[in-house]
Amino acid sequence: MEILDNLLLGLSVAVTPINLLFLIVGAFVGMIVGIIPGFGPTAGIAVLLSLTFSMDPITAVIMLAGIYYGSMYGGTITSILINTPGESATVASTFDGFPLAKRGRIGPALVMQAAASFIGGTIGVLLISGFAPAFANFAKSFGPPEFFLIITIGLLALIVVMGDNKVNGAISALLGLAVSLVGVDVITGAQRFTYGHPELINGIYFLPVAIGLFGLGELFYSIYKGTHKEERKQAVSFKDKETFWPNKREWSESKGTFARGSVLGFFVGMLPGAGATVASLLSYSLEKKVSKFSDKFGKGYMPGLVAPESANNAASAGAMIPLLTLGIPGSGATAVLLGAFLMWGLQPGPLMMENEPEFAWGLISSMYLGNVILILVNIFAIPLFIKIMQVPYKLMIPVILILCTIGTYSLHGSIVETWIMLAFGLIGLFMKLYNFSPAALVLALVLGPMAEDTLRQTLITSGGSLGIFVQRPISLILVLVIVFIVVLPAIKFLKDGRKKDSSKDISL
Amino acid sequence: MKKIIFFLLVIGIIATGCSSDETSGETSHASEYPSTENTLDWTIAFGPGGGNDVMAREMIKILEKYDLYEGDIVPENREGGSGAVGWGHVHQNIGDPYQISTTSGSFITTPLQSDPGWDYSDFTHVALMATDDMFFMVSGDSGYETIDEFVDEAKNKTMNIGGIGVANVDRMIVETFGKEAGIDYEYVSFNAEGQLQSALMSGSLDAIVANPSGVIGQIESGEMNALAFSGLEPLADYPDIPTFIEEGYEVNISMPRGVILAGDVDEEVRQWWIDTMKEVAETDEWEEYIQKNYLSENILYGEDFTEYLEETSSTFNNILSDLGVLEE
């Protein structure tokens, strides 16, 4: 009952005409920010932060939360439309999202991504309102050993997303790890492969790489193959049930995925630093493992889009847990929000929910409202996005090229990163031609440095002993999960190995 | 169809608008400085939302509110290479009186660590406005109430002490304290505040150094304890948390938060900015900014700021060379 009281208090604070107006503004701005490749929630919130200083803190945070949520919805749209993830959390959404669009199921794909985002976000907020303080203790028990193991599970999951050619997939992932070595070594401060260029001191950022590999790579590939000259599929409209709304089969296939993706995403999102990328990746590979039709994944199968989408939105809700209950920012975007709390004179920390219930619960209730507004905005905006797909691809090419270039340049105003994007565009073309996996490269680039830092932090604290991984309870559970993931297929392989020579299991 | 392309272009324009790279026009004589025809190019050498960004934007807000600067001011985040990119940009525009920037610890440590083509002495020093000092934190259930208890326990075991970064202020505080106290410790470096704090709470670390504004909530709830403060004076809001020096450990390493111009600008321009920053320092807004962000007010103008930078740079150089984190 206390939860209901709290929520009612929150709603009474959040539901004023002014707040609703700013929530809608925030959600809309967030969606647009999410659509621009390279311009994610962190930058969106940071840029608009200065506008909010003169506002009432509750109104301001409701608007910023709207941007945060909106960009999570919008970020997937380019993944589906032009195969270009706007942030690392939506890389996994390209796996089935883009093939769906190519098959002409663009309307249903966009509806389902909105539905998955809505369900993921809503389940996330329900879990926050019900159990936030209990989860705080869970988030608190994560140190470097646990992070390392979670990221290792993420890296193992790469095997699932690599596609059929496991050897090429492994090479792609290793390429990603190699690129990730550039920059300052966080433990010793030594510079690696920077060749004296200050632009490389902070390493090669994954977004120019992702935009190049996916956005430009796809574009070069279609020019190379000549597919850009083909006519587009028929138009779709609201009234056209068949091509706009997902059909019954697509709904029923995705039922379990919604729930599993949301819960998994929420828990992974709660861990500071692991976040939405690992969540979307784990959710995708979990679905592929439990599905009876695992060979359909990657070819435009609806649950393959629903899994990462429900997970990354639930993760962005999960990331609010350490922020609200511990005052610890779990992601770049929540770190900027934390800075905003301070500027408004709020004191984030374990006592914030007690000391500032109106603020905390106002924020939580605004998340419910934000999700409702966003699913409506999304569904009404779909015909607009679908129209983009009707434009002949040869006319879209210059536009995509401009968007990718501007998006990359606007990240840090760096011309070096723009060149990096262009170079990876060419690499992306060859990876596609020779059946390598751009997704494995990008995800290894994101996860590799996290794995390296956390492993080395762990070993420094344990004085070099690996025993630390089995001495801490949560860490021990994670070790067992990894053993299970690695050993089970290995046993299966040894059993069936004689019968058929399957290249699939070798890389495990 | 055209509409859609138009729509996409509009999105593109919005994206560029957020990072438009305006130049500050040609260099003019300082006689009528500042001329309203030139845009003041304010380099923020770090990303949006960080300490340096917040300070720069606060200053710009004050300059605009009190009409202290009449022309246009364009703040620009030029992040990369721990300040190498941003301050490099200011350095390239040597002699241009419309290039200004705000400093952090990296203003001194980055040129010590790598060779970005400039060091602190290549700029015109206007004013040190404040310093950023740190708390030495342990978790609430560790049982340590004073820094001496921590040092006693450290005689029996190697302590794991965490901070952000390798060759920066966090590291130097830990190193200087470790030497003063004569204890064995391992320094564990992190990239982000969130992971550093959860590593302490999860029991992986014995202590961390942290910026006060990030941990006040944890101190008040008893989740963490602050054993010492690295400033010269205790924070006004937390007089009970002693400084290292009060506890008998000579540790005073701070992050200089000041204002600089490009190198080789006219003395009149520097004097103009010194006078202007004096006015900024007296506003209520500045007072509030210092208090809210738990900075130590420490104001030095012109030559005094230069001297401070010289001293700080040589101190940092000594500590970091001893640690062996500088590549020579």
Structure tokens that stand for B309 in this block: 């930078």
Report the pLDDT averaged over residues B159-184: 92
Ranges assigned E (strand) in A311-428: none
Are B211 and B136 in contact, with CB atoms under 8 Å apart? Answer: no
Tokens for A501, please give them: 């020579």
Q: Could you tell me the CA-to-CA distances from B215 to A52, A347, B14, B52, B136 in Å, in that order?
A: 24, 9, 36, 19, 10
Beta-carbon neighbour count of residue A486 at 10 Å? Answer: 11
pLDDT band at B23; cut points 50, 70, 90: very low
> What pLDDT is stored for residue B30 in this prediction?
45
- Report how many Cβ contacts below 8 Å link chain A to chain B: 211
Token pair recorded at residue B64: 């605009």
Cα dist. A137→A129, A310, A334, B200, B201 in Å?
15, 24, 19, 13, 10
Burial of B251 (0-12, 13-18, 19+ CB in 10 A): buried
Chain B residue whose CA is closest to A391: B1
Query: Which of A341-355, B102-116, B305-319 comes out lowest in average pLDDT?
Result: A341-355
Is B201–A343 a contact, with Cβ atoms under 8 angstroms apart?
no
Find the residue in B nearest to A184 (Cα): B81
* Chain A interface disruption, residue of B137, B198, B206, B213, most A CBs within 10 A: B198
Cβ-based neighbours of B117, under 8 Å, separated by 6 or more: A198, B88, B91
- What is the separation of C-alpha A74 from the centre of its chain, rounded to a whole number of angstroms? 12
- Greater model confidence, A390 or A303: A303
pLDDT > 70? residue A1: no
pLDDT category of residue A33 using cuts at 50, 70 and 90: confident
CA distances from A253 to A187, B139, B180 (A): 46, 47, 65
Closest CA–CA distance from residue B194 to any residue of chain A (Å): 5
| Whole-number Å distance between alpha carbons of B285 and B59 | 9
> Nearest Cβ partner of B166 from A43, A186, A406?
A186
Are the CB atoms for B85 and B45 separated by under 8 Å? yes
pLDDT of residue B22 exceeding 50, the answer is no
CA distance A282 to chain B (A): 21
Residue A169 has pLDDT above 50, yes or no: yes
DSSP class of residue A215 equals I
Q: Which of residues 282-311 of A touch B (CB under 8 A)?
A: none
Q: Residue A36: is its pLDDT beyond 50?
A: yes
pLDDT for res A503: 45
Domains B38-132+255-323 and B135-229 equal at CATH topology level: yes
* A401 vs A38: CA distance, rounded Å: 13
List the CATH code of the domain at B38-132+255-323: 3.40.190.150
Compare CB distances from B221 to A42, A345, A349 and report the shortest one's residue. A349
ipTM: 0.80
Mean pLDDT of A292-317: 91
- Pairwise CA distance, residues A4 & A18, whole Å: 24
Rounded Cα gap, residues B239 and A170, in angstroms: 57
Q: What is the DSSP code string of A390-403? A: HS-HHHHHHHHHHH
pLDDT tens, B72-131?
Answer: 999 988 887 788 889 999 999 999 999 999 999 999 998 988 788 899 999 999 999 999
A330 touches chain B (CB under 8 A): yes
Question: From the CB of residue B270, how many other CB atoms can be counted at a distance below 10 Å?
Answer: 20
Question: If you compute the radius of gyration of chain B from its CA atoms, what whole number of angstroms results?
Answer: 22
Residue B19: what pLDDT? 43
In 3D, which of A301, A313, A321 has the Cα closest to residue A378?
A: A313
For residue A399, the chain B residues in CB contact (below 8 A) are 5, 8-9
Residue found by looking up tokens 């939105």 in the block: A313
Question: Using CB atoms within 10 A of its CB, is residue A82 exposed (0-12), middle (13-18) or buried (19+)?
Answer: buried
Instruction: Among A147, A199, A409, select the one facing B195 at the smallest CB separation.
Output: A147
Q: Which of B188, B206, B293 to mutate to test the interface with A (most CBs of A within 10 A)?
A: B188
Contacts of B194 in chain A (CB under 8 A): 272-273, 322, 328-330, 335
Closest CA to A317 of A38, A43, A80, A127: A127
Q: Is A482 exposed, middle or buried (0-12, 13-18, 19+ CB in 10 A)?
A: middle
**H-helix or E-strand spanning residue A122:** helix A106-140
Q: How far is CA A365 from CA A125, A226, A372, B159, B195, in A?
A: 8, 50, 11, 43, 27
Residue A207 in contact with residue A87, Cβ under 8 Å?
Answer: yes
Q: What is the mean pLDDT of chain A?
A: 84
| Domain-wise residue ranges, chain B | 38-132+255-323, 135-229
Tell me the chain B residues in contact with residue A410 when contact means C-beta distances shorter than 8 Å: 15-16, 18-19
Structure tokens belonging to residue A145: 């050993």
Give the closest residue to A292 by CA, choosing from A348, A252, A326.
A252
Of A201, A336, A410, the CB nearest to B15: A410
For the stretch B54-72, what's the b/e string if a residue is b when 16 or more beta carbons lie within 10 angstroms of its beta carbon?
A: bbbbbbbbbbeeeeebeee
Dihedral, A22, A23, A25, A31 alpha carbons, nearest 10 = 160
Return residues 107-136 of A near B (CB < 8 Å). Answer: none
CA distance A360 to A353: 6
B255-294 tens-digit pLDDT: 899 999 999 999 999 999 999 999 999 999 999 999 888 9
Superfamily grouping for domain B135-229: Periplasmic binding protein-like II (3.40.190.10)
- The answer, yes or no, to whether residue A361 has pLDDT greater than 70, is yes
Residue A426's CB is within 10 A of a number of other CB atoms, namely: 14
Among chain B residues, CA nearest to A468? B204
CB of B303 within 8 Å of any CB in chain A?
Answer: no
CB contact under 8 A, A36 and B158: no
Q: How far apart are CA A343 and CA A337, in angstroms?
A: 10
Closest residue to A198, CB basis, from B81, B165, B213: B81
Contact A161, A94 (CB under 8 A): no
- Over residues A472-503, the pLDDT tens digits come to 998 999 999 899 888 887 887 787 765 554 44
Provide the pLDDT for residue A506. Answer: 41
**Rg of chain A over CA atoms, in angstroms?**
22
Q: With bands split at pLDDT 50, 70 and 90, how would you rate the model's confidence at A246?
A: confident
User: What pLDDT sits at residue A262?
Assistant: 95
B199: Cβ contacts below 8 Å, ≥ 6 apart: A143, A144, A457, B162, B188, B190, B205, B208
Distances (CA, A) of A111 to A80, A97, A108, A254, B97: 11, 11, 5, 13, 54
Which tens digits make up the pLDDT trace of B114-146?
A: 788 899 999 999 999 999 999 999 999 999 999
Higher pLDDT pick, A194 / B170:
B170
